[in-house]
């Protein structure tokens, strides 16, 4: 991938240098911060949050449900993420409900 100056950046190599904090939480969310190497931080937009596709495209690897929720202007190489505390439970419940609906519609027809 090229940065804003047209310099090619080896994301695969640099992604091995990304630091992932332990998770921490409050009553509503679990959080983590991700520290990028300097070259990767140049790919982070300074005026908006990144979508999951964008942060994955620069080498950040996390399980599902994480959202880039805050820009820490003094340290743009640190990405701040959060997701619902019970995110995994919510996903399992949604899968169970979808399976039950599929079974019900299969028996109706």
Higher pLDDT, 29 or 92: 29
**For residue range 43-71, what is the model confidence (pLDDT) as tens digits?**
999 999 999 999 999 999 999 999 999 99
Whose tokens are 């990767």? That residue is 40
pLDDT at 91: 66
**For residue range 9-53, what is the model confidence (pLDDT) as tens digits?**
899 999 999 999 999 999 999 999 999 999 999 999 999 999 999
pLDDT at 33: 97
Whole-model pTM: value is 0.75
Whose tokens are 């790919």? That residue is 43
pLDDT at 97: 67
Cα 107 from Cα 109, distance rounded (Å): 6
Beta bridge partners of 78: 35
Cα 28 from Cα 33, distance rounded (Å): 17
pLDDT at 52: 96
């Amino acid at each position: 991938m090229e940065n804003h100056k047209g310099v090619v950046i080896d994301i695969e190599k640099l992604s091995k240098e990304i630091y992932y904090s332990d998770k921490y939480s409050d009553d509503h969310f679990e959080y983590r911060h991700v520290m990028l190497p300097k070259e990767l931080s140049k790919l982070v937009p300074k005026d908006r949050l990144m979508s999951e596709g964008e942060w994955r495209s620069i080498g950040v690897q996390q399980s599902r449900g994480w959202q880039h929720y805050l820009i820490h202007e003094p340290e743009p190489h640190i990405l701040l993420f959060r997701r619902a505390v019970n995110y995994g439970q919510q996903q399992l419940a949604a899968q169970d409900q979808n399976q039950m609906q599929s079974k019900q519609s299969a028996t109706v027809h």
